Structure 1
Amino acid sequence: MNQLAPETRDWLTANHFTVQDEARWIAALTHGSLGEKRDYQRLEFLGDRVLGLTIADWLFVRNPGAEGQLAQRLNALVSKANCAAVAAQLGASDHIRLGKQAREDGAAKSVNVLGDVMESLLGANFLDAGFDATRDLIRTLWASQVEGDTGRSKHPKSALQEWAAGSGYRTPEYELVDRSGPDHSLRFTVRVTVHKVGQAEATENSKREAETAAAKAFMETYG
């Protein structure tokens, strides 16, 4: 297939993508289940980086928060699930090229496939239109998430876990390192560790509160 289906080209144009090299856009919408030479994997790799830089720059300018807060929001906004949500809102499922079995298995609506396709479309747009145009496109497509609550006000333990996963680190480990004081006024000290990153400790009136405070301290130091 060397030409985009007319309805797919119209859909891309209507959503402000810049279509020049049709073979590139066909690849951006092609799942590996078709067994074709070009699918969306390489473009996905590129689009992921363009998206990450754009959102990081956007958050840095708009939000005066600490690094940990920025990292929390960045990870949520560029996550596979959030990319999939943007793709679904655009109606991408109707234009993904899939093998018969993959389509029957519902791959067109899966979070992994939709997330990958969204990133591959951004990669294709970067190659056809350049960074500035793709940055402006991302700012349009992600506006409601950036201006809304995506990635905000998460529980510190959830935020730390998402940060670790998004950064390629192991799951955080919590350890009770001290318990002191009389029964009516116990104090618990908890240490949280992320392998190859560091540790943080906090002391509170309950183990749960100490874990939460340790996670918050970790994100403020390393996030």
Structure 2
Amino acid sequence: MPADSDILRDLLGYSFADPDLLQQALTHPSCTGQPNYQRLEFVGDRVLGAIISQRLYRDYPTFKEGELAIRFNELVRKETLARIVLQTGLDRFIRLSPGEEDNGGRQKPAILADCCEAVIGAMFMDSGFDAAHAFVEKHWHDLVASVARKEKDAKTLLQEWAQGRGLAAPTYRETGREGPPHEPEFTVSVAIGKHEAAGKGNSKRIAEQAAARVLLNKLTGAE
């Protein structure tokens, strides 16, 4: 490793037995002819998922599967991982080609997130689950608590549920309007693929929230 090894050890709170793994984890594929982070990212993605899943299951025994899934998706999405890299200062050590550097690669959330997963994967490959677990516990501890407390509106939760499964965003459609003009009642339907539900309210916004809540409950088995 270069002279930066001591700084990286302090940032990570971990000393690699095989420093080449860390160098690989911080090397973007644009650096041709050098081992890059893609294989370690593959490993780290699975390791991070296992650690976060275990933590949510252990700490929140009353949460249903859907509630766990929504919070899991927020904790492992690329924006969250990119924030961890920026907070630790690891972004300074990512190795990019000159072209990718000029293209703003060091600020791209996707690259930062990939490196984060790769570093976790490198720790796992270097000395096993405990090393990766310690890193994730340290840097995700407050995030796990915050997403557990966070109360989101039904439309946001439904959209996150869809995104977490690679589905198209929910679509809303007004299907009915009753009552006098000064006191209407709207009916709105929401659909994700073949799944659909409807809700009512005295404004379109409230009806949309009601429809999203009904569909989310169906999809997560809360009913």
TM-score, normalized by length of structure 2? 0.88
Pairing partner for 1:163 from 161, 164, 174: 161
Following TM superposition, by how much is the alpha carbon of 1:67 offset from its aligned partner in structure 2, in angstroms?
A: 3.2
SS in structure 2 opposite 1:34?
coil
- What residue identity is the alignment partner of 1:20? A
Say if 2:172 and 2:188, in contact at 8 Å, map to a contact too: yes
Q: Tell me the residue number matched to 1:82.
A: 80
Pairing partner for 2:32 from 15, 35, 57: 35
Question: Aligned partners of 1:176 and 1:26: how far apart in 2?
Answer: 54
Distance 1:9 1:166, change over 3 A: farther
Pairing partner for 1:61 from 39, 42, 58: 58
SS in structure 1 opposite 2:36?
coil
Q: Tell me the residue number matched to 1:202.
A: 199
**5+ residue gaps, structure 2:** none
Q: Tell me the residue number matched to 1:135.
A: 133
**5+ residue gaps, structure 1:** none
Pairing partner for 1:221 from 204, 218, 221: 218
Listed one character per residue, the Cα deviations across residues 82-136 of structure 1 (whole Å, up to 9, x for unaligned) are 1010011111112111111222333123212111100111111111222233223
Q: Tell me the residue number matched to 1:73.
A: 71
Percent of paired sites with the same residue? 36
Question: Aligned partners of 2:167 and 2:33: how far apart in 1?
Answer: 34
Question: Aligned partners of 1:151 and 1:82: how far apart in 2?
Answer: 17
Listed one character per residue, the Cα deviations across residues 150-193 of structure 1 (whole Å, up to 9, x for unaligned) are 88222221222222122111111112222223334322222211
Listed one character per residue, the Cα deviations across residues 44-79 of structure 1 (whole Å, up to 9, x for unaligned) are 122112112211221122222333332222111111
Question: Aligned partners of 2:197 and 2:54: how far apart in 1?
Answer: 28
SS in structure 1 opposite 2:197?
strand
- What residue identity is the alignment partner of 1:11? L
Question: Aligned partners of 1:35 and 1:62: how far apart in 2?
Answer: 43
The answer to whether residue 5 in structure 2 is matched with residue 5 in structure 1 is: no
- What residue identity is the alignment partner of 2:190? V
Question: Aligned partners of 1:206 and 1:77: how far apart in 2?
Answer: 33
